Structure 1
């Protein structure tokens, strides 16, 4: 039923291993290279490794994807610290956008899930990896990713990302 764009990040432990394990569980159709990125929202922490992926499963709903993302985080050993919303983590998996099989975007504003992701259009570490695997990427209701990255603040943030190459995984 859905195609999703996911953003994954890790800045504790073996960052590459955490991303690789999540990719294996999520079974994407496309995965970006790994980008080393400065922390966002809380500068007092290590740099992140970030990737974007596109996944498709005709039997999964957006809520199913959220449950799978949470399962990946738990498997990596993530413990949420409510006192530090943007703090360090062994793995973070966010659903950025989702589409029905018909191609219609999914909009959701529940307590558990907001789609499209409400802050994705402000985050170069989400947009740059996504654009690298989908030149026509667009956030429903926000516009094309390449146009969003023309914003001077996002363009400056994008220049701080360092491409590290791909992950080795069985897909």
Structure 2
């Protein structure tokens, strides 16, 4: 089994309901491909890139899976589509019903069109690092030589505005799991 860390995000409602409900339903779908070993809290985050859109709801889960990275990516894209995401016609960095990204998968390094592991902008995004630190603070990022906690600390120093734009949400339908 491999451990994949997957970022979940949404800022538009889907058939499942508002973004928090969408993330909950998407997390249930991920269990078709393995076991959720951990899930972060939900966080409300400022949009990055295209600013004229609603705030996002973000989280990170650790999925223990037998799938390889290419097969997992294929399944994540299918889940996004099932929740109403249209990657071809959507605005880059724009509003979406669901975004699922593989952040890391064990210590794999892949640099191919359509799949890069670790995620190439992981170290620049508080909306990913904050929830990832909650479930795996000491996880060392391949190719960066630093832990999640260290990367977040560096981001706080360099981009205070973005790092402070991540706010923990309380939600009864999204219980954060204990750290693995």
Q: CA RMSD in A?
A: 1.9
The aligned counterpart of 2:164 is 159
* Cα distance, 1:80 vs structure 2: 1.6
Q: Tell me: CA distance 1:148–1:18, structure 2 relative to 1, closer, same or farther (3 Å).
A: same
**1:168 matches 2:168:** no
**1:36 matches 2:44:** yes
Pairing of 1:8-23 with structure 2 (within 5 A): 8-13=8-13, 14-23=18-27
The aligned counterpart of 1:26 is 30
Whole-angstrom CA distance in 2 between matches of 1:153 and 1:19: 29
Q: Which of 123, 128, 131 is the aligned partner of 1:126? A: 128
Q: Tell me: CA distance 1:169–1:37, structure 2 relative to 1, closer, same or farther (3 Å).
A: closer
Q: Which of 110, 113, 119 is the aligned partner of 1:111? A: 113
- Quick check: 1:24–1:169 contact (8 Å CA) kept in 2? no
TM normalised by structure 2 equals 0.84
Whole-angstrom CA distance in 2 between matches of 1:159 and 1:169: 22
**1:50 matches 2:52:** no
**1:87 matches 2:98:** no
* Cα distance, 1:166 vs structure 2: 4.6
- Quick check: 1:33–1:164 contact (8 Å CA) kept in 2? yes
The aligned counterpart of 2:70 is 63
The aligned counterpart of 2:147 is 144
Q: Tell me: CA distance 1:88–1:8, structure 2 relative to 1, closer, same or farther (3 Å).
A: same
TM normalised by structure 1 equals 0.89
Show CA shifts across 1:22-44 (max 9, x none): 10011221111100000011111
* Cα distance, 1:145 vs structure 2: 1.4
- Quick check: 1:5–1:95 contact (8 Å CA) kept in 2? yes
Structure 2, unaligned stretches of length 5 or more? Answer: none
Structure 1, unaligned stretches of length 5 or more? Answer: 100-104
Instruction: Count the aligned residue pairs.
Output: 165
Whole-angstrom CA distance in 2 between matches of 1:84 and 1:138: 33
Query: Post-superposition, which runs of at least 4 consecutive aligned residues in structure 1 deviate over 6 A?
Result: none
Whole-angstrom CA distance in 1 between matches of 2:82 and 2:135: 26
